[in-house]
């Protein structure tokens, strides 16, 4: 009889956990859907306006401004063009760091996307196109 009660208790407890996870997943899915258009807009902006390494002044400023708008403590510029956002929760626990490459490469973008880079710069004394050829626009 104890085994039956224990089994029923275990099944009931697991169903509560799964129900809670389903609610949390639904909330997360809804938030992601609400943000999708904005995230696509940001990604296309960063793709269209890349900056070469150590010249990402506009990109770094845009990131710093956004982190500030989220209420984070921001250090900018860091290493010339970088931004650090610090989220203080007041709770104990580990510190977690996320990093992202934000530089473009001296490469001409050759496609007809509406958000294709048309940026130009000078690299090693040569006039070059600039694009996010290795996907750093998706890191941001």
The predicted-structure confidence for 93-111, as pLDDT tens digits, reads as follows 998 999 999 999 999 999 9
pLDDT value of position 13: 60
75 occurs within a structural domain: no
pTM flag (> 0.85): no
68 occurs within a structural domain: no
24 occurs within a structural domain: yes
Q: Is the dihedral of CA 77, 80, 81, 87 positive or negative?
A: negative
Q: Is the pLDDT of residue 140 over 80?
A: yes
Q: Count of domains in the chain?
A: 1
129 occurs within a structural domain: yes
Show the DSSP H helices in the chain as ranges: 2-48, 57-69, 136-139
76 occurs within a structural domain: no
23 occurs within a structural domain: yes
pLDDT value of position 110: 97
pLDDT value of position 21: 84
Residue the block writes with tokens 């977690």:
96
Q: Is the pLDDT of residue 12 over 80?
A: no
119 occurs within a structural domain: yes
* 127 contacts 120 by C-beta, under 8 angstroms: yes
Q: Which of 54, 55, 87 is nearest to 68 (CA)?
A: 87
The CA dihedral of 88, 91, 21, 9, to the nearest 10 degrees, is 180
The H helix count followed by the E strand count for the chain is 3, 4
User: What residues make up the domain containing 119?
Assistant: 2-50+89-139
Cα–Cα distances in Å, from 20 out to 23, 24, 29, 33?
Answer: 5, 6, 14, 20
Mean pLDDT, rounded, for 66-74 = 97
* Residue 89 neighbours by CB under 8 Å, 6+ apart: none
């Amino acid at each position: 009889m104890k085994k039956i009660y224990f089994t029923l208790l275990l099944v009931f407890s697991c169903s509560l956990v799964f129900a809670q996870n389903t609610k949390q997943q639904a909330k997360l899915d809804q938030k992601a859907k609400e943000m999708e258009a904005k995230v696509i807009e940001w990604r296309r902006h960063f793709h269209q306006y890349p900056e070469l390494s150590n010249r990402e002044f506009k990109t770094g400023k845009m990131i710093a401004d956004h982190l500030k708008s989220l209420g984070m403590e921001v250090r900018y510029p860091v290493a010339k063009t970088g931004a650090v956002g610090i989220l203080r929760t007041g709770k104990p626990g580990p510190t977690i760091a996320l990093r992202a490459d934000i530089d473009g490469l001296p490469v001409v973008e050759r496609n007809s996307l509406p958000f294709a880079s048309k940026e130009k710069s000078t690299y090693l004394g040569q006039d070059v196109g600039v694009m996010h050829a290795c996907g750093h626009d998706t890191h941001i």
